Amino acid sequence: MDTTPITYQTKTATEKNIFLHLTDCNNNFTPPLSERTGLGSYAKKLFEKAVTFEAWSDHQLVGLVAAYYSTDDKRSVFITNISVKEEFMGKGIASLLLKNCITHSVKNKYVEINLEVNKYNAPAISFYEKHQFKQSLTRGDDLTLKLEIK
């Protein structure tokens, strides 16, 4: 059993760390992430434009929440990625990373967090509902979920 401690950081991952993590987690998405976007360009966009909430084990990025923070008056956040390497699933990493994102959003006076999930991804939908996200929109196979924060 791996006893390497997991550490949590914000915005420390390099573009390469993010790319390797997305590659490792590609098939954990429904449908696989690479069927929707190029992993290299997506990693670059996350590195340049997102605030990343990261879980690390032995210098490897094992969990990631990436969120875009609006710069307009809407004060909204869009979570574009939540992923945990398969061998680290079930340890509460995604929940802690999401809570870190929510805490960061509250501290910076944002009022809502949105995300999209495939309607066939029941485990992800259940996870978001457990964290008080509510369905706000359906478009094709995608559901938009929203968390209103104070």
Contact (CB, 8 A) for 54 and 14: no
Helix (H) or strand (E) holding 100: helix 93-107
pLDDT in tens, 36-94: 999 999 999 999 999 999 999 999 999 999 999 999 888 999 999 999 999 999 999 99
Query: Within a 10 A sphere around the Cβ of 78, how many other Cβ atoms?
Result: 16
Contact (CB, 8 A) for 63 and 84: yes
Quote the pLDDT of residue 20. 98
**pTM for the full model?**
0.95
Q: Quick check: 1 pLDDT over 90?
A: no
Quote the pLDDT of residue 3. 73
In the chain, the N- to C-terminal Cα span, in Å, equals 40
CA distance 15 to 109: 28
* C-alpha closest to that of 133 among 109, 119, 149, 118: 149
CA distance 16 to 37: 17
